Amino acid sequence: MVKEFNILITGVGGQGVILISELLGRAAVTDKLRVRGSEILGMAVRGGSVTSAIRIGEEVYGPLIPTGKCNVLVGMEPSEALRNIACLSKSSLVIINTAVTVPFTVSIGESKYPSQEEILRQLGKASSKIVQMDAAKIAQEAGSRLATNIVMLGALFGTEQLPIKIDTIKETIRERFPAKLAPVNIRAFDLGYEACRQAVK
């Protein structure tokens, strides 16, 4: 039985961060694993930063990932991945969707958005394993841009480190979506899975 496996999903309100953590949690329970997690709702959902932690294992008690103990950081948005740099250690894996969501504060000149190079350079100081992918584009290939989050979920499984069975998560996806939308999401999952698996090889 797995002792502790920590996943942090970060992004912007509306990107479907919470949905992925719900799917992970349900699948973990189906696989008879212990799950803990937490997220910030309320103020944060109106286009603000969103983070959701999912922790699996026998030795997990608290809802938050302790500093430096994240196994995989899933960044649905590059700067939001960077914002959570403190959860990383050298052995953490980072998966980033390269599609940028610029906050309105940049438009009104109140802040600046870092370059992709800056983001990667900084993240590289914390972790040596960073996988990048244009998840929105992959989702489009699968049939819907709305499945971007499921592409990232697939990529998370593509690390081949997760204690949850692939069949279980796919079944959970099928249950969660209406029959009409399930195939697109399964395709998105498979493409994300493959993209990450190739990259981490």
Partner 1 sequence: MKELTISSGSPGQRLFVLGNEAIARGAIEAGVQVAAAYPGTPSSEITETLAGVAKELDMYVEWSTNEKVAFEVALAASICGVRALASMKHVGVNVAHDPLMTAGYIGAKGGLVLLSADDPSAWSSQNEQDNRYIAEQGYIPVLEPSSVQEAKDMMADAFKLSEQFGQLFMLRSVTRIGHARGDITLGEISRERRKGQFIKDRTRLVYTPREARINKPLMLERFEGIKKAVNTLPYNQLKLADGAKLGIIACGLSYSYTLEAIKWLEIEDKVSILKIGTPHPLPEELVLKLLKSVKEVLVAEELDPFVELHVKAIAGEHNIPVKIHGKDLLPRIGELSTRKVTEAIAHLTRAKTPVDFASIDKLEQETAPLLPWRPPALCPGCPHRASHYAIRVASRRVARDLGKDIEPIYPGDIGCYALGYNPPQEASDTIICMGGSFGIASGLAHVVEAPIVAHLGDSTFFHAGIPPLVNAVYNKANITMVILDNSATAMTGFQPHPGTGYTAMGDETVLLKPEDIARACGVKFVEVVDPFNLKEATEAIEKAIRFPGPAVVVSRRLCAIIEQREKKKRREKVIPYRVDQDKCNGKCNACIELLGCPALIKEGTKTVIDGSLCTGCGLCAQVCPYKAIVPE
Least distance from C-beta 57 to partner 1, angstroms? 11
Can residue 36 be called a binding residue for partner 1 (CB under 8 A)? yes
**Region from 58-66, 91-99, 163-171, 192-200 binding partner 1, contact rule CB under 8 A:** 58-66
Least distance from C-beta 197 to partner 1, angstroms? 26
As a whole number of angstroms, the distance between CA 110 and CA 23 comes to 36
b/e per residue, 86-96, with b = 16+ CB within 10 A? ebbeeebbbbb
Q: Which residues contact 177 (CB under 8 A, 6 or more apart)?
A: 185
Helix or strand run (H / E) with residue 132: strand 129-133
Can residue 125 be called a binding residue for partner 1 (CB under 8 A)? yes
Exactly one of 8, 94, 95, 126 binds partner 1 (CB under 8 A); that residue is: 126
Where are the extended beta strands (E) located within 27-115? 35-39, 49-56, 72-75, 93-97
Exactly one of 7, 8, 20, 54 binds partner 1 (CB under 8 A); that residue is: 54
Exactly one of 1, 5, 38, 158 binds partner 1 (CB under 8 A); that residue is: 38
Can residue 80 be called a binding residue for partner 1 (CB under 8 A)? yes
Can residue 45 be called a binding residue for partner 1 (CB under 8 A)? yes
Question: Tokens standing for 29?
Answer: 């329970």
Nearer to partner 1, 108 or 201 (CB): 108
As a whole number of angstroms, the distance between CA 2 and CA 47 comes to 35
**Region from 38-46, 130-138, 150-158, 185-193 binding partner 1, contact rule CB under 8 A:** 38-46
Can residue 124 be called a binding residue for partner 1 (CB under 8 A)? no
Can residue 195 be called a binding residue for partner 1 (CB under 8 A)? no
* Token pair 């990383």 in the structure block, residue: 88
Backbone dihedral angles phi then psi of residue 41, each to the nearest 5 degrees: -110, -165
Helix or strand run (H / E) with residue 105: helix 104-107
As a whole number of angstroms, the distance between CA 10 and CA 27 comes to 20
Rule CB under 8 A: which residues touch partner 1? 12-13, 21-22, 25-26, 28-29, 34-49, 54, 59-64, 66-69, 79-80, 82-83, 85-86, 89, 102-108, 110-114, 118-119, 122, 125-126
